[in-house]
Structure 1
Amino acid sequence: MAQDRVLPLEGIHNFRDYGGYAARGGRLRKGVLWRSGQHSEATPDDLAKVQRIGLGTVVDLRGDSEREANPCLRHEDFAGEVLFHPGETASVRGRAAHEEMAREVRSAADAHQAMLRLYETLPFRPVLVGTFRLYMQALAGRDAPSLLHCLAGKDRTGVAAALVHHLLGVHPDDMMADYLLTNTAGNAEARIEAGARHVREGFGRSMDDAAVRVLMGVDAAFLDRAFAAMIESHGSVEDYARDVLGVTPQALEAMERRLVEA
Structure 2
Amino acid sequence: MDDRVKPFEGVRNFRDFGGYEGADGARIKTGKLYRSGHFGEATDQDLTGIELLNIKVQADLRRPDERERHGDKWPVSGVQKLFSDHGRETEAPHVNFLKQVAVDAEASKGWMRNYYVEAPYRQSLVPTYTAWFEMLETLPTEDAALVNCAAGKDRTGILCALTHHVLGVSMDDIFVDYELTNTAARAEERLPEARDYFNSMLGKSYDGEIYKPFLGVEREFLEAAIASIEEKSGSLDTYLEEALAVGPSRRHAIRENLLD
Same-fold call, TM cutoff 0.5: yes
- Picking from 131, 136, 142, the partner of 1:134 is 131
The total of aligned residue pairs comes to: 256
**Aligned partners of 2:41 and 2:73 also within 8 Å:** yes
**Residue in structure 2 matched with residue 251 of structure 1 by the alignment:** 250
CA shift in 2, pair 1:107/1:55, >3 Å: same
CA shift in 2, pair 1:107/1:47, >3 Å: same
1:237 aligns with 2:236: yes
**Aligned partners of 2:59 and 2:148 also within 8 Å:** yes
Q: CA deviation at 1:4?
A: 2.2
Secondary structure of the 2:77 match is coil
Looking at structure 1, the residues matched to 5 and 149 of structure 2 have their Cα atoms a distance apart, in angstroms, of: 17
**Residue in structure 2 matched with residue 54 of structure 1 by the alignment:** 54
**Aligned partners of 1:14 and 1:35 also within 8 Å:** yes
Q: How is 1:1-262 mapped onto 2 (pairs within 5 angstroms)?
A: 4-25=3-24, 26-75=26-75, 77-88=76-87, 92-95=89-92, 98-99=94-95, 101-104=97-100, 106-143=103-140, 144-185=143-184, 187-188=186-187, 192=191, 203=202, 205-261=204-260
Secondary structure of the 1:170 match is coil
Looking at structure 2, the residues matched to 200 and 82 of structure 1 have their Cα atoms a distance apart, in angstroms, of: 35
- CA deviations on 1:170-226 (whole Å, 9 max, x unpaired) are 011111010000001154456657766775576584532111112211001000000
Code of the residue aligned with 1:133 in structure 2: it is T
- CA deviations on 1:89-140 (whole Å, 9 max, x unpaired) are 7xx4342x65554344622111111111111001011111111111111111
Q: CA deviation at 1:167?
A: 1.8
Secondary structure of the 1:27 match is coil
**Aligned partners of 2:23 and 2:169 also within 8 Å:** yes
Looking at structure 2, the residues matched to 121 and 134 of structure 1 have their Cα atoms a distance apart, in angstroms, of: 19
**Aligned partners of 1:106 and 1:208 also within 8 Å:** no
Q: CA deviation at 1:78?
A: 2.6
Looking at structure 1, the residues matched to 133 and 95 of structure 2 have their Cα atoms a distance apart, in angstroms, of: 26
Further displaced range: 169-178 or 134-143: 134-143
Looking at structure 2, the residues matched to 66 and 204 of structure 1 have their Cα atoms a distance apart, in angstroms, of: 23
Runs of at least 5 residues in structure 2 that lack an aligned partner in the other structure: none
CA RMSD of aligned residues (A): 2.2
Looking at structure 1, the residues matched to 33 and 240 of structure 2 have their Cα atoms a distance apart, in angstroms, of: 19
CA shift in 2, pair 1:252/1:111, >3 Å: same
Secondary structure of the 2:147 match is strand
Code of the residue aligned with 1:41 in structure 2: it is E
Secondary structure of the 1:28 match is coil
Runs of at least 5 residues in structure 1 that lack an aligned partner in the other structure: none
